[in-house]
Amino acid sequence: MKKFLTTAFLFTLAVAAFAQGAPAVAGNGIFDGRFLAHLSLAIAAAGCGLGQGKAVVAACEGVARNPQAGGKIMVTMIIGLAMIEALVIYVLVAAFAIK
């Protein structure tokens, strides 16, 4: 699984790097601010998805082991998911600021 994720990440990076058009201004390379903003947003979204998936899996396992604690586990999970999602929103705001 680790090999697959590494290969997928490198392929995505290569596609994004080589799909850029010719720079409009001399000296503006591939790794300009817009590219790095988009790349950081993609990495943050991927990390958010993985983190949220792990949180939901752990909550489901917790409810399966102790059904009476389902309400408390659900509230804690939703608060955690909101915190995880907030990190991606911060990166999105930073990406807009760079553009």
* CATH fold group of domain 35-99: F1FO ATP Synthase (1.20.20)
Q: Is 27 left (phi over 0), alpha (psi -120 to 50) or beta?
A: left
Residues 89, 62: Cα–Cα separation, whole Å: 28
Q: 62: buried, middle or exposed (CB in 10 Å: 19+, 13-18, 0-12)?
A: middle
pLDDT in tens, 63-85: 999 999 999 999 999 999 999 99
pLDDT in tens, 1-38: 777 778 777 767 666 666 655 555 545 556 667 777 78
